[in-house]
Structure formats: C-alpha cells, structure tokens
C-alpha cells in the first residue's frame, strides 16, 4: 500500500520539473512508450557546435552591461517583501521519430518573505499544490486526495531544498523567490553578454541577455521598465540532445498584501496522509543541480570584459 501511495503521489505532485537559474524539468509520469528516447540520435551539427562553444571557457567573457542588467533584476526581486506571478514552463522531450515533443505546465505562485510560499499547478497533467507556512511543507494531490506533510526549516530556501532532498520536488522559478537571486548569476559564471532589445515577449519592452555557467546556457528577457524577468530559455551543456527548456513569467505583482491563510489549506491537511519519498526514477536534465548544492571545480571563471564574444 505504501508503495502504491508513493507512486500515486509522485504522479500527482511531480508532473514536470525544471531547474534553471537553477532550472529543472522532470518527465511527466505516464508518457511511456510514445515519448521514449530514440536508440540512435540524428546528426545535429548546429547544436553540437553550440555545445562545443560552451565547453571552451577560455573564449568566454563576462560583459559588464549584461551582468549589471542581471544584478538590477535580481535586486528588484530580492527587495520585494511579497510577490505573485504565473510561470509557464515548456520543455522538449524526445520522441521515437527523433524530433522533440513540447510539453508545458503552469505554476501560480504566491510568496511572502521570509517563510511563506504557495505553488498551485492546475495542469496540464495531474493537478498538485505545494504549501510552506514557515513551519512545515505540504504537497497535496487533489485527484488522489493524498497529502505529504513534513516539518521544514524557517526559510524558503531551506524548505525548497528539503522538498528536493526528500521527494525530488523542483520548481523552475526557484531562484526568483530566494533571498539572493544574484548569487546564482555569479556562481561559476563563464559567459554573459548583451544581445539586444525586444518588444515581443510578455507584451512589453525587454532587453535580452545571454548567460552561462558550466552546466547551462541561458537566454533571459528582462523588462525595460519594471526590471523583472519575462522569459528564460535554457539548454544544458551535458544534455546530449541539447533539448530546450523555456520559462515564461507573467502577471507580476510585488509587495502586495497577502494574508497568512493563503499559505495553508484545510482541505489538503485533511487528505489521506503519506510520507514524502523520492521516486524510483527521475529524468532531470544532464548537468542540473539542486538548490544550494556545490559545483565541482571546473577551472577559473571568465574575467569581466568590455565587449561580448
């Protein structure tokens, strides 16, 4: 019975995962035979060339203009006492035919510093809810009426780290809600350069920045007026298929009055209990790391420069 509960909960509360900025997407349960990776990979010279470039840190530079944009956006997020936003994560998964298939999942997020977080996942796939009230984390699968509850550390970062360590729970916007978002931008950075303006993403004017560390290459769209991230597109350097992961963030509200009761659910707490447990198999992108985990030494990071590569 315990194993059946664990599998049901994993299907419900872990439909998709991504870690960028520390971004991770995990495979939705039940995709099975229709989306198995092909036994032979078609030749893909452009992506292979891109990975080769990322693997050459001696050619990488950190452009001050790009790092300043990332710093300003990070400071805007860090200064917010509360925030709400909607994030739509889309990611590619290989099909038997070769070309990848795109899957998406929506997250409705409420956060209040330093110790309140709510994540609602209406679909696609099984719905799930995650609550953190400063004392405990709670993951709820409404369709199965299953809930896992555990004591948690007194910070959002600690709660998210515990969710990963006990149940492989990841969310693609992790570094947007932690106390110091800029820390992820300087952690092992080997590349950053300014791309240019855009008026397409998020219905607003944005500036595009490229950034990379040894694990992941990111393209980030930052609002010109509000300095908030609007899109993040990621490719993991260790992924042999160079699949794309994308996060679109909208409906931003900062420093609003969010009542404490928003971070709890009596219906969830009354559901059939089960323990947090790690699933038997996961499909995290190659090179992805959990929140706060150390990065292996890969040599010296690039030094700041005045122009992009």
Do the domain assignments include residue 180? yes
Do the domain assignments include residue 108? yes
Q: How many structural domains comprise the chain?
A: 1
Domain holding 131: CATH number?
2.50.20.10
What DSSP line would sit under 62-73, residue for residue?
A: B-HHHHHHHHHH
Distance of CA 84 to the CA centre of its chain: 16
- pLDDT at position 187 is 85
Do the domain assignments include residue 164? yes
On whether the CB atoms of residues 118 and 263 are closer than 8 A, the answer is yes
Residues 6+ apart with CB under 8 A from 228: 73, 76, 77, 222, 249, 252
Do the domain assignments include residue 122? yes
- pLDDT at position 123 is 72
3-state secondary structure of 155: coil
Do the domain assignments include residue 200? yes
Q: Which residues of the chain have pLDDT under 70?
A: 1-59, 280-309
- Map tokens 């198999």 to a residue: 281
Do the domain assignments include residue 123? yes
Q: Domain containing 265: what range? A: 2-28+47-274
Handedness of CA 34, 37, 39, 41 (dihedral sign): positive
Residue 81 phi, psi dihedral angles, 5° rounding: -75, -25
Q: What is the SS3 assignment for 156-187?
A: HHHHHHHHHHHHCCCCCCHHHHCCCCHHHHHC
pLDDT tens, residue by residue, 239-261: 999 999 999 999 999 999 999 99
Instruction: Specify the long-range contacts of residues 106-112, CB closer than 8 Å, at least 24 apart.
Output: 107/171, 107/172, 107/173, 108/84, 109/83, 109/84, 109/85, 109/173, 109/177, 110/82, 110/83, 110/84, 110/258, 110/262, 110/263, 111/82, 111/83, 111/84, 111/156, 111/177, 112/81, 112/82, 112/258, 112/263
Do the domain assignments include residue 265? yes
Do the domain assignments include residue 304? no
Structure tokens at 226: 């509000």
pLDDT tens, residue by residue, 59-100: 679 999 999 999 999 999 999 999 999 999 999 999 999 899
């Amino acid at each position: 019975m315990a194993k059946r509960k664990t599998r049901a909960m994993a299907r419900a509360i872990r439909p998709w995962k991504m870690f960028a900025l520390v971004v991770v997407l995990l495979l939705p349960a039940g995709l099975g035979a229709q989306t198995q990776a092909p036994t032979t990979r078609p030749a893909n010279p452009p992506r292979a060339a891109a990975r080769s470039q990322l693997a050459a840190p001696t050619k990488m530079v950190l452009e001050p203009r790009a790092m300043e944009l990332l710093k300003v956006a990070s400071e805007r997020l860090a200064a917010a006492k509360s925030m709400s936003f909607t994030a739509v994560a889309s990611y590619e998964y290989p099909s038997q035919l070769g070309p990848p298939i795109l899957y998406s999942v929506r997250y409705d997020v409420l956060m209040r510093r330093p110790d309140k977080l709510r994540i609602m996942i209406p679909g696609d796939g099984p719905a799930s809810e995650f609550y953190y009230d400063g004392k405990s984390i709670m993951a709820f699968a409404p369709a199965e009426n299953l809930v896992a509850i555990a004591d948690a550390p007194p910070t959002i970062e600690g709660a998210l780290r515990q969710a990963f360590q006990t149940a492989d729970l990841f969310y693609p916007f992790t570094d947007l809600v932690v106390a110091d978002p800029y820390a992820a931008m300087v952690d092992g950075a080997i590349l950053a350069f300014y791309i240019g303006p855009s008026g397409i993403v998020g219905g607003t004017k944005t500036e595009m920045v490229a950034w990379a560390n040894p694990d992941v290459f990111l393209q980030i769209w930052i609002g010109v007026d509000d300095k908030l991230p609007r899109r993040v597109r990621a490719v993991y350097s260790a992924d042999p298929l160079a699949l794309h992961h994308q996060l679109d963030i909208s409906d931003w509200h900062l420093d609003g009055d969010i009542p404490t009761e928003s971070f709890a659910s009596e219906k969830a707490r009354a559901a059939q209990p089960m323990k947090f447990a790690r699933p038997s198999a996961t499909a995290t992108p190659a090179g992805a790391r959990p929140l706060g985990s150390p990065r292996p030494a890969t040599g010296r990071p690039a030094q700041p420069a005045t122009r992009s590569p």
